[in-house]
Amino acid sequence: MSDETSQPEEQEPVEAAAEAAPEAVEPAAEVAPESQDAVADAPEAAVEAEELPEETKREKPEIPGADLVPDIVPEGETAIAADDAEVDVYAGDDTDAPAAEQADAEPADEVEVQPIAGATIDLGKDARYSATGKRKSAVARVTLKPGTGEYSLNGRTMEEMFPRVTLQRNMRQPLEAVGYETKMDVIALIHGGGVSAQADALRHGISRALVKADPNLRGELKKRGFLTRDPRVVERKKAGLKKARKRPQFSKR
C-alpha cells in the first residue's frame, strides 16, 4: 500500500516540468530567425566593404603622422601662391605699360615733398634772418644768410655736429620745402639738451627764420609741422618716489 500511494506524488513534479518545458523552448525558437537574418546580412556587409574603391581606403601607418607631408615655406617666399592671392579688382591694369617704366616706378611709401611755390626771399648781400628754436632743454639761435647751403653749427660742420643721417635729413627739411637749400647758409649756436633735441631745435629755428624772411610761408610751413614747438619734456621727479611715477618696492613686513 505504501508503494502505490507514493507513485502519484512522484508523477506530479514530472508533469509540472513537462508543462514548463514547452514554454521555455518557445522563446528560443522565436530568437533563432533573427540571428539567422543577421548571419545572412553579414556576407552582404563584407561584400560592400570589398567593393569600396582603393582611394578611400587608408592604411594606418605604424608611426602616427608618418604619411603626412610637411608644409614648409622656404625663406623669402610667401605661403600663398601667386595664383591663389587675392586680386584687386579696382586696381588699374598696368600690363600695357613698358617694363622699363614699371621698373623705374618708385614705391608708394616714398613720396617726394614738393617745394612751396611762390617763395620770395630777399637774397641781398647784407640780408640776415635770425630766430630762436627750442626743443626740450635745447636752444638754437639760428641766422640765415645768402650762400651755397653750408652749415656752421658751433663752429663745426653739420656732419661733425650730427653724424646721424636721420638728424641731418630733419634739419634740411625746412629749406628743402622752400627750395632754398642751395641758396642760403645756416649759422647757429646750440646749447643744452641732447643730440636729438638740438637737431629738432635747429629745425624749429630755421623754420622761424624763414617766416621772418617771407611771412607768406607761414601757412605752408605750419601745415607741414615745422613751426610747431614740441612741448614734450621729461616729467619731474616727485618727493617720495624714485622717478616721476616709479615707487619704491612695497614690503608688507
Check which CATH number belongs to the domain holding 207 and give it.
3.30.230.10
User: Distance between CA 2 and CA 31 in Å, rounded?
Assistant: 47
Q: Does the residue 45 lie in any domain?
A: no
Q: Does the residue 204 lie in any domain?
A: yes
* pLDDT score, position 62: 75
Q: Inter-axis angle of helices 165-178 and 195-213, to 10 degrees? A: 10
- Helix, strand or coil for residue 219? helix
Q: Does the residue 48 lie in any domain?
A: no
Report in angstroms the alpha-carbon separations of 7 from 12, 18, 159: 9, 17, 136
User: Distance between CA 57 and CA 154 in Å, rounded?
Assistant: 84
* pLDDT score, position 43: 52
Q: Does the residue 191 lie in any domain?
A: yes
Cell 506530479 -> residue: 12
Print the domain residue range for 163: 129-223
* pLDDT score, position 53: 57
Question: Please, which residues bridge with residue 247 across strands?
Answer: none
- Read off the C-alpha cell for 174: 625746412
Q: Does the residue 230 lie in any domain?
A: no
Q: Does the residue 156 lie in any domain?
A: yes
* pLDDT score, position 66: 72
Q: Does the residue 84 lie in any domain?
A: no
- Report the chain (253 residues): mean pLDDT per 10 consecutive residues: 47 50 47 49 51 60 73 67 53 51 48 72 92 97 95 96 95 94 96 96 97 94 94 96 96 92
- The phi, psi pair for 145, rounded to 5°, reads -145, 160
Picking from 186, 194, 182, 105, the residue whose alpha carbon sits closest to that of residue 145 is 186
Give percent helix, percent strand, percent coil of the chain, each to the nearest 5.
40, 10, 50
From the CB of residue 28, how many other CB atoms can be counted at a distance below 10 Å?
8
Hey, what amino acid is at 20? A
Would the pTM of this model clear 0.75, i.e. be above it?
A: no
- Read off the C-alpha cell for 137: 632743454
Total of domains in the chain: 1
* pLDDT score, position 149: 94
| Cβ proximity of 132 and 142 under 8 Å | yes
User: Distance between CA 187 and CA 58 in Å, rounded?
Assistant: 82
* pLDDT score, position 117: 75
* pLDDT score, position 79: 60
User: Distance between CA 191 and CA 205 in Å, rounded?
Assistant: 13
